[in-house]
Amino acid sequence: MSNHRRPARDNTYRNRYLHSGAWYARRDRWFLDEQHRNGDIRCALCLAAGSARNLELHHLDYRGVAQTPYGWTAHERHEDLTALHPRCHEYVHLLIDRDRALSGFVSRRTASIQAIARLQAKIAHYIEASLDQQ
């Protein structure tokens, strides 16, 4: 049962974390590290280049996050986070939430990767269809 959709309490916990100073600092460091590793920062869905100003970070894994009596610890590995435009991020969450298989039976990382791949296939299909019409 551990992979099933978590109760609302868990979302509240994550939402509080995502407004913490520990997360803001972790987020800033991710963008610096990504820039350093890859030379540029791209949206994982549409692949357009962006920056900390127009990209959000999506958690592939919340394992590094914990609450202690002294505050939050933000020990996500670099690979546990991925950059997305706010709009692209929304699409990924919508697809995961709507798809029972993605939301209930696989890890968050697998669900996210599958959702992004499916959305990219849709985008490619849409582009091909619109080129055919010209």
Q: Which residues bind Zn ion (CB under 5 A)?
A: 43, 45-46, 58, 85, 88
Q: Which is nearer to Zn ion, 72 or 132 (CB)?
A: 72
Residue 127 C-beta: closest distance to Zn ion, Å: 14
The residue whose Cβ lies closest to Zn ion is: 43
**CA 68/CA 78 separation, integer angstroms:** 21
Residue 47 C-beta: closest distance to Zn ion, Å: 7
Q: Which is nearer to Zn ion, 72 or 81 (CB)?
A: 81
Residue 111 C-beta: closest distance to Zn ion, Å: 11
Q: Which is nearer to Zn ion, 72 or 89 (CB)?
A: 89
For 73-102, give one letter per residue: b (16+ CB within 10 A) or e.
ebebeeebbbbbbeebbebbeebbeebeeb
Q: Which two tokens stand for residue 134?
A: 């010209």
Burial class (CB in 10 A: 0-12, 13-18, 19+), 65: buried
